[in-house]
Structure 1
Amino acid sequence: MTEDILIRKDGRAGRITLNRPKALNALTYDMCMSIDAALKDWARDDDVALLVIDGAGDKAFCAGGDIAEMYATGTAGDYSYGRRFWRDEYRMNARLFEFPKPVVSFLQGFTMGGGVGVGCHGSHRIVGETSKIAMPECGIGLLPDVGGTLLLARAPGRIGEYLGTTGDRMDAGDAIFAGFADYFIPEAEWDTLKTALCQTGDWEAVDRAARPAPAARLAGWQPVIDDYFGGETLGDIWRGLPAEDDWPEPIRHAIRLMDRNAPLAMASAVECVHRARIRDDMRTALRQEYRFTHRSMEQGDFLEGIRAAIIDKDRTPKWAHKDWRAVPGGDVHAMTGPLGPDELQFDDERDGS
């Protein structure tokens, strides 16, 4: 087992600790596979009453996936590594979402992208004073994945479309309001709670420790967001806005964020959130996300997004589409349509196929 992740049994709990604090606990492929193996074992282990998932350090639970290897292989014309990473990561996300026992996650600092796929699919998702949760994938040419489109689809009103296209960060109150977290507990009390969970296996200890959720900025913004993010497509959202002089502050904030992001990714995010809302099912959402990520290096903006953000760090990506207000529907379908024999499959298909 890699030292980047610590997996062990502690009393009545299965413990998973992401252990790359200097890298903000970014997920590697080996870490994903270690989590998946533990979930398989502990689902059948009567000694494990619940899971406790946390991250080392105080800056991040997990700031996303480790994408340097994807860039290196993708720019060399090898797309197989990235596709394998996403395929197997999504299978792990589904297994975690469907885990038959309570899963308690402690989400300090940054929880973004791939970190959402580990930390936000459990039954008891805890945030504190430093929590910052986001799905910022559109900023690097991806759409919200790791099951994120289902979380966004379940958010109140049109908050999901807003968060998915802007990548806006949520604090603890926002995360609870939007359905990415469940409990606010002061971080100074987390170690005591973890000890109690491991000793007793009593997940109701989380309920007893919880405090009232902080006020949510997004709750106050929701009426405006609902009014203007209800379009069928990304272009419809733009066309439904009033004249710029009449934009309320939530819309001005949204446009500032959206102007940085990949147009094709945002347009595809709107489409996939809508599809996830129609069929409320994690595996269906992951399959849809995989259609995009499978194509994202060869046909999309992912490699350019990584170059601008991580490699050259010039923050000036040259997106394939110049204007997010006018992404052709055919281009969205080309990224989100069926993959045929390459469709994401799960190793325990529920329909027996």
Structure 2
Amino acid sequence: MEDLNIRIQGRAGRITLTRERALNALNHDMALAVLAALSDWRDDPSVDLVIMDAAGDRAFCAGGDIAAVYHAGRAGDHQVGRNFFRDEYLMNAAIADFPKPVVAFMQGFVMGGGVGLGGHASHRIVGDTTRIAMPESGIGLIPDVGGTWLLGRAPGRIGEYLALTGARMGPGDAIHAGFADTYLPEAEWPDLIAALEDTGDIHRIKGAKPPAAPLADRDLSAFGGRHVADILNAVTAAGDDESLKAMRRNSPLSMAAGLAMVRAARGDRRIQESLGREYRFTARATESTDFLEGIRAQIIDKDRSPKWAADASPGAVQALLAPLGGNDMTWENAE
């Protein structure tokens, strides 16, 4: 398809995102195509491993292409969003559970849907340009695509910090936080990809010493508060103006729900549990949250002045995360 180049080269199944001008944003058809390719290659003896990369040097994948979800939601059709998120999450789970090695080369922006693509690969390679983030609170959503699973496993309070602020991580921080595994200068990526194609041998991956990880030394104890209001007070008292500014900009409901979900994910045993919880929120997002307003402000009108209005109380969060009455995610295709 036009937005992806899916093929077999040597011993490798290759998935290359080719929407360079759109920062390789992931749309519904792309998610379905990746899911289909993984299904085809699962039992194909000619494929020893899967390599995911992207065209251009600006982004591996800067997020999900949710314009269609926005316009459908504005028109009162909430099923378009539900279908997109469901199939994207099936793809995320398929990557995480794939029985063969999946190697992701993640340059530039890796945000939201890009984390869902690369962040669940078995071998995640980053370089000097890599900037990873889960900025969904800024558009009235929550860290989805398995983001709460990753955030819940980050050391200390890094998960809460990243979920509430949407802060970007460089390569060192990404490895420290558990969003990546290996640092390798990007000039060396083509040779490694060629070797993996030629041999199918995952042991060809030899990383270099990663850059520093500032998050490893940062005091994030302020993010241990029970509620967002407690965290805001602690961040204010700590004089962390950068975090405070980000939190003041984000959707109160998204932060409250994201905080609850990151903490709930710490008790999950499989990524499917986290994805299923995320789907309960996103299936309702175009109808009952700040999501449409966030997309309007950030992507459609680009005035960067969202007017958050959704109820952010504990009861509202609980309602958004309640079972979907028979429409919860099922995992027949992701076991």
TM-score range, shorter chain: over 0.9
Q: CA deviation at 1:321?
A: 4.8
In the other structure, the counterpart of 1:267 is: 256
Aligned equivalents of 1:238, 1:301: Cα separation in 2 = 20
Q: CA deviation at 1:235?
A: 2.7
Q: CA deviation at 1:236?
A: 3.2
Residues 165-314 of structure 1 mapped to structure 2, 5 A cutoff: 165-206=164-205, 208=206, 210-221=207-218, 224-225=219-220, 227-239=221-233, 241=234, 244=236, 246-248=237-239, 251-314=240-303
Instruction: Answer whether contact 1:150 1:280 (CA < 8 A) is retained.
Output: no
Amino acid at match of 1:254: S
In the other structure, the counterpart of 1:78 is: 77
Amino acid at match of 2:313: P
Instruction: Answer whether contact 2:232 2:244 (CA < 8 A) is retained.
Output: no
Amino acid at match of 2:320: M
Output one character per residue of 1:118-169: Cα deviation in whole Å (capped at 9) or x when no partner: 0110111000010000000110000000000000000001100100111000
Residues 32-181 of structure 1 mapped to structure 2, 5 A cutoff: 32-181=31-180
Gaps of 5+ in 2: none
Question: What is the root-mean-square deviation of aligned Cα atoms in Å?
Answer: 1.3
Instruction: Answer whether contact 1:62 1:115 (CA < 8 A) is retained.
Output: yes
Aligned equivalents of 1:343, 1:5: Cα separation in 2 = 29
In the other structure, the counterpart of 1:319 is: 308
Aligned equivalents of 1:321, 1:28: Cα separation in 2 = 26
Aligned equivalents of 1:116, 1:280: Cα separation in 2 = 20
Q: CA deviation at 1:41?
A: 1.0
Output one character per residue of 1:216-243: Cα deviation in whole Å (capped at 9) or x when no partner: 111111xx21x2111233233234x17x
In the other structure, the counterpart of 1:332 is: 317
Aligned equivalents of 1:198, 1:143: Cα separation in 2 = 36
- What is the aligned length? 335
Aligned equivalents of 2:289, 2:154: Cα separation in 1 = 27
Aligned equivalents of 2:203, 2:334: Cα separation in 1 = 32
Moved over 4 A (4+): none
Aligned equivalents of 1:85, 1:129: Cα separation in 2 = 32
Aligned equivalents of 1:266, 1:345: Cα separation in 2 = 26
SS in structure 1 opposite 2:269?
coil
Q: CA deviation at 1:349?
A: 7.0
Aligned equivalents of 1:44, 1:230: Cα separation in 2 = 44
Aligned equivalents of 2:67, 2:194: Cα separation in 1 = 36
- State percent identity of aligned pairs: 55
Q: CA deviation at 1:347?
A: 2.3
Instruction: Answer whether contact 2:90 2:334 (CA < 8 A) is retained.
Output: no
Aligned equivalents of 1:30, 1:331: Cα separation in 2 = 32
Aligned equivalents of 1:256, 1:235: Cα separation in 2 = 14
Instruction: Answer whether contact 1:27 1:64 (CA < 8 A) is retained.
Output: yes
Q: CA deviation at 1:71?
A: 1.1
Instruction: Answer whether contact 1:127 1:184 (CA < 8 A) is retained.
Output: yes
Instruction: Answer whether contact 1:60 1:108 (CA < 8 A) is retained.
Output: yes
Aligned equivalents of 2:329, 2:146: Cα separation in 1 = 13
Aligned equivalents of 1:296, 1:264: Cα separation in 2 = 11
Instruction: Answer whether contact 2:94 2:334 (CA < 8 A) is retained.
Output: no
In the other structure, the counterpart of 1:347 is: 332
Gaps of 5+ in 1: none
SS in structure 2 opposite 1:341?
coil
Aligned equivalents of 1:256, 1:150: Cα separation in 2 = 26
- The TM-score with structure 1 as length reference comes to 0.92
SS in structure 2 opposite 1:157?
coil
Distance 1:37 1:321, change over 3 A: closer
